[in-house]
């Protein structure tokens, strides 16, 4: 299974440590195409040799080739919103995770979208459980 993980990069890195853990958890179910989203380093410097066009083309190719999308949507991000709209247009199964303990409010454009499986969590264990259920239901049927 190919998994596209979306999380805020330019919009703020407050949840980067959570992204690392959620990506590691998802990787037990398949290949996470966007592991760099969980980098605790400076992603801008890590990708300094890439143009915006190159990043866009790469990410859109990964999104199109993915089987599912997992988006951590607690930190508002134009890029993640764009990726979610593209994923919806491509007919991808999408899990949106929102940390309700951060005190923010989830955009109605995400919370109200019935084509997304949106789940709130307060602990990373809860978020991992949501990922497990989502990926098991999105994966191939087991036989035997």
- Look at residue 143 and tell me if it is in a domain: no
- Look at residue 144 and tell me if it is in a domain: no
Q: Please, is 79 exposed, middle or buried when counting C-beta atoms within 10 Å of its C-beta (0-12, 13-18, 19+)?
A: middle
Q: Count the domains in the chain.
A: 1
pLDDT tens-digit profile of 62-118? 999 999 999 999 999 999 999 999 999 999 999 999 999 988 899 999 999 999 999
CATH number of domain containing 57: 3.40.50.450
- Residue-number span of the structural domain to which 96 is assigned: 2-138
Question: Is residue 32 within 8 Å of 135, Cβ to Cβ?
Answer: no
- Look at residue 57 and tell me if it is in a domain: yes
- pLDDT value at residue 3: 98
């Amino acid at each position: 299974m190919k998994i596209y993980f979306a999380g805020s990069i330019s919009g703020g890195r407050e949840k980067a440590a959570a992204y690392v853990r959620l990506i590691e958890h998802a990787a037990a179910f398949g290949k996470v195409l966007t592991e760099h989203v969980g980098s605790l380093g400076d992603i801008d410097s890590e990708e300094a040799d890439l143009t915006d066009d190159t990043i866009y083309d790469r990410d859109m190719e990964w999104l199109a080739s993915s089987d599912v999308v997992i988006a951590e949507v607690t930190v508002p991000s134009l890029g993640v919103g764009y990726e979610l709209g593209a994923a919806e247009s491509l007919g991808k199964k999408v899990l949106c995770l929102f940390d309700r303990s951060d005190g923010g409010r989830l955009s109605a454009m995400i919370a109200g979208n019935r084509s997304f499986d949106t789940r709130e969590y307060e602990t990373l264990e809860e978020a991992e459980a949501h990922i497990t259920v989502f990926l098991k239901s999105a994966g191939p049927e087991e036989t035997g």
